[in-house]
Amino acid sequence: MHGSLPSLTQGASAGDTPEQVIALSDHARVIAAGKARAIQAITGQTRMLALNATIEAARAGASGKGFAVVAEEVKAVSAEIGKLASEMESELTSALDELRSVGRRMAADMRGQRLVDLCLNAIEIIDRNLYERTCDVRWWATDAAVVAAAGDQSTEVLMEAERRLGVILSAYTVYLDLWICTPDGRVVAHGRPDRYPGVRGTDVSREKWFREAMGSASGDDYAVADVDQCRPLNNAPVATYAAAVRENGETFGAPIGVLGIHFDWEPQARAVVDGVRLSPEEAARSRVLLVDARGRILSASDRRGELTENITLALEGRRHGVVLDQNGRTTAFHLTPGYETYRGLEWAGVIIQEPAEGEREGGGGAAARKRR
């Protein structure tokens, strides 16, 4: 039927959304306005008829007095109906506007929660990936060739260690290089001498990962450094994990060196931010980020600001949440939950999303600034 509301009698379905609430309220508003105008038109016609009846009653003189009384009553009733129609339109418009606002808030909340879930998914993938790196470095630090090279820097022993590291790298393609370091912080062997000829002899004694690994209590411990560019590896961004190489490869043996493994950060991280499940329309107005504990951008779907730009998250004591700014921009975030024995480095998955074209109007209201 023309002008009727979509059926609401079948109950909620899996496809019901806040956007449907908004659409229904807009449709109801149009119908209410149209019906109010129709009533006003009818009351206008009724008042015109009452006026004509009053004129004819006056012409009829005394015999038309009774008819004049009826005409006045009709005019009064018509005016009352017109007043009620106007009040109804005003009240319905106000109620439907509020319903639309509720629908918009519901839609924003649902979209925000979905973005938070996507942020969590992204940071969890990274956590699981980096957890495997902590297992790799502790395992390979006990490899016989690695242990031998840390304790004996003879040419033959170092050549065997580099051969062994090359075999590992051929199977684990997520690494750029693996370094064996002496207790004083000198790299004596690595897995890719052909690709990175300047690595051997590099001094890493000032590196955080080296110092922490040398000072670790047991073979169960590892050290990790935030993502940064590594000059000997052609300035490629790496996440470096390290573990002490111990006498005889024993868990509580004395440290005789350090194994540092350099995770090839850029392609792995970009696969994560590019793989977040946004529609093409959403992706065009969204920026997916991985950031460290300082807010430094480690990876970005738009490739901007990587390792150079910092963002500020309104954490307010929360580990996840959504913030809408005065321009209608949504920022969703989720800090690392850690994985297994890997507690994470307080990194976060972040999605910054500009409002859709139809959402820009009125984006700066109090509701838009609400933090959840």
Which distant-in-sequence residues (6+ apart) come within 8 Å of 91 by Cβ?
none
Which domains are delineated in the chain?
18-108 (1.10.287.950), 141-268 (3.30.450.20), 272-369 (3.30.450)
Q: Is the pLDDT of residue 368 over 70?
A: no
Predicted confidence at residue 21, as pLDDT, reads 57
Reading the block at residue 338, the tokens are 């850690």
Question: In terms of C-beta density within 10 A (0-12 exposed, 13-18 middle, 19 or more buried), how is residue 91 classed?
Answer: exposed
Predicted confidence at residue 9, as pLDDT, reads 38
Reading the block at residue 344, the tokens are 């994470």
Q: From the CA atom positions of the chain, what is the Rg in Å?
A: 36
Q: Is the pLDDT of residue 54 over 80?
A: no
pLDDT band at residue 23 using 50, 70 and 90 as cut-offs: low
Higher pLDDT among residues 1 and 48, named by residue: 48
Predicted confidence at residue 252, as pLDDT, reads 96
pLDDT band at residue 24 using 50, 70 and 90 as cut-offs: low
Predicted confidence at residue 80, as pLDDT, reads 74
Stretch 137-144: mean pLDDT, rounded?
A: 97
Stretch 191-197: mean pLDDT, rounded?
A: 96
Reading the block at residue 244, the tokens are 């002490």
Q: Is the pLDDT of residue 371 over 60?
A: no
Q: Using one digit for the tens of pLDDT, what is the confidence trace for 324-336?
A: 888 888 999 999 9
Reading the block at residue 13, the tokens are 């379905």
Q: Using one digit for the tens of pLDDT, what is the confidence trace for 216-271?
A: 999 999 999 989 999 999 999 999 999 999 999 999 999 999 999 999 999 999 99
**DSSP 3-state assignment of 256?**
strand
Nearest in space to 324 (alpha carbons), one of 83, 17, 30, 111: 111
Q: Using one digit for the tens of pLDDT, what is the confidence trace for 56-73?
A: 667 766 666 666 666 677
Chain mean pLDDT for the chain: 84
Predicted confidence at residue 240, as pLDDT, reads 97
CA distance 63 to 67: 8
pLDDT band at residue 17 using 50, 70 and 90 as cut-offs: low
CA angle 124, 130, 132 (to 5 degrees): 110
CA distance 322 to 316: 11
Predicted confidence at residue 84, as pLDDT, reads 74
Predicted confidence at residue 138, as pLDDT, reads 97
- Residue 183 parent element (H or E): none
Stretch 126-150: mean pLDDT, rounded?
A: 95
